[in-house]
């Protein structure tokens, strides 16, 4: 077999002659300091792991369908699930849903304070409601008192598409300052009643506007922040917009929990959210595949190899990186950077484990040999 792929692993040695264990250094701002709250057993803020949320898309009154959808999201690795409680049927169903799943449930409430009270009584872990939208002072007080008694935080969620008319009249159109002012108006109402366990979101379909608004909140408050680009679109466009908006803020140290909003199944939102966190080094809970885009130098079927490996490892919950590269120019260096890697050229591949070259294998055996190494790999504790 022709061994044309360079075997050197000298780049893994640092300038002092020591082995470089940090093969993927993450360049991030320090995490913003925020208050620590709990959504069920999930910590939010104060440097806690960034959690991934989604929202069910079934009719909440259909308990069986809603629970089944949440279970699929659990399998995808969701941390928190939001459920709309928008009518009497949903309010009657929420308690059974809470008891049937293993993740904290957030009740999404608009305007009707009784739905909030019933959801709190049913055992939800958080309520999403804007205090200023539920009417009379006594109604606001009842909801806040019930939430405080149960230790349930409230998320104030402001969207650029539903700003109050007086704020729109003041600013002329949705701006970052307008989103900030709306969120603070609702926050002050809660604080006036002695309620401080607030999480804030200031979402927009405009990525630049969303980024600017969250920066204002982050600079001026210590509230934990729920990040998201609202109504982002279908999987392709929505993933890009969410990755740019959420990813930019996370890279700056801003954000405590995220939700990717896609016109797709909620488990897809979870998958994209997890991938955003992994790309920034904030999460690595399963096998991450790194593969080259390919070019004219490619002389193995890298598309087929990558597809087969991705399918085979999708359910493996092992924190590790696997590089699948298709040329002798960049391939060896990139493959060394992963826990397990292969650099392929001229009908063969060179396998690496933790930067150390192992053996050459013919193209037809690359998938099986990679999978063997993946299954045998033991992540560092």
Which residues in the chain come in under a pLDDT of 50? 1-24
Q: What is the DSSP letter of 365?
A: G
25 in Cβ contact with 50 (< 8 Å): no
Report pLDDT digits (tens) over 194-252: 999 999 999 999 999 999 999 999 999 999 999 999 887 899 999 999 999 999 999 99
* Residue given tokens 């397990």 in the structure block: 340
Contacts of 85 (CB under 8 A, 6+ apart): 60, 91, 94, 107, 108, 109, 115, 116, 118, 119
Please give the class, per CATH, of domain 37-279: alpha beta
Q: Where are the domains of the chain?
A: 10-25+286-376, 37-279
Tell me, what's the pLDDT at 325? Answer: 84
Tell me, what's the pLDDT at 329? Answer: 65
- CA-to-CA separations, 149 to 62, 270, 374, in angstroms, rounded: 29, 31, 49
Report pLDDT digits (tens) over 102-125: 999 999 998 899 999 999 999 999
Residue 51 CB coordination number (10 Å): 22
Angle at Cα 194 formed by Cα 189 and Cα 197, nearest 5°? 85
Alpha helices in the chain (DSSP H): 63-76, 88-100, 113-122, 137-150, 165-171, 176-192, 207-220, 235-251, 266-279, 302-313, 331-337, 366-376
CATH of span 10-25+286-376: 3.30.413.10
270 in Cβ contact with 73 (< 8 Å): yes
Number of helices followed by number of strands (H, E) in the chain: 12, 15
N residues, the chain: 381
SS3 135: coil
* Residue given tokens 């001229």 in the structure block: 346
> Does this model's pTM top 0.85?
no
């Amino acid at each position: 077999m022709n061994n044309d792929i360079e075997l050197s692993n000298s780049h893994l040695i640092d300038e002092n002659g020591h082995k470089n264990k940090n093969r993927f250094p993450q360049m991030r701002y320090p995490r913003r300091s925020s208050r620590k709250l709990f959504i069920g057993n999930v910590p939010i803020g104060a440097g806690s792991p960034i959690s991934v949320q989604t929202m069910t898309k079934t009719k909440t009154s259909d308990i069986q369908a809603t629970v089944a959808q949440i279970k699929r999201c659990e399998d995808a690795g969701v941390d928190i699930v939001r459920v709309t409680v928008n009518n009497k049927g949903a309010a009657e169903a929420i308690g059974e849903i809470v008891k049937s799943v293993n993740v904290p449930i957030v009740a999404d409430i608009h305007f009707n304070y009784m739905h909030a009270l019933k959801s709190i009584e049913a055992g939800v872990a958080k309520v999403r409601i804007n205090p200023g939208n539920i009417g009379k002072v006594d109604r606001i007080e009842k909801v806040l008192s019930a939430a405080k008694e149960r230790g349930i935080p409230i998320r104030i969620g402001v969207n650029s598409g539903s700003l109050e008319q007086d704020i729109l009249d003041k600013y002329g159109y949705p701006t970052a300052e307008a989103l900030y002012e709306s969120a603070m108006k609702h926050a002050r109402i809660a604080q006036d009643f002695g309620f401080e366990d607030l999480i804030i979101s200031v979402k927009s379909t405009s990525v630049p506007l969303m980024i600017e608004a969250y920066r204002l909140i982050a600079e001026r408050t210590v509230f934990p922040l729920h990040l998201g680009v609202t109504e982002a679109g279908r999987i392709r466009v929505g993933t890009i917009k969410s990755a740019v908006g959420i990813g930019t803020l996370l890279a700056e140290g801003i954000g405590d929990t995220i939700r990717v909003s896609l016109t797709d199944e909620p488990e897809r939102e979870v998958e994209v959210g997890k991938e955003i966190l992994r790309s920034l080094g904030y999460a690595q809970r399963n096998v991450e595949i790194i593969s080259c885009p390919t070019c004219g130098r490619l002389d193995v079927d890298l598309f087929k190899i990558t597809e087969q490996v991705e399918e085979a490892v999708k359910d493996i919950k092992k924190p590790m990186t696997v590089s699948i590269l298709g040329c002798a120019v960049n391939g060896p260096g990139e493959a060394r950077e992963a826990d397990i890697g292969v650099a392929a050229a001229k009908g063969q591949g060179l396998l690496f484990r933790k930067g150390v070259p192992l053996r050459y294998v013919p193209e037809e055996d690359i998938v099986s040999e990679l999978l063997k190494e993946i299954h045998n790999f033991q992540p560092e504790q």
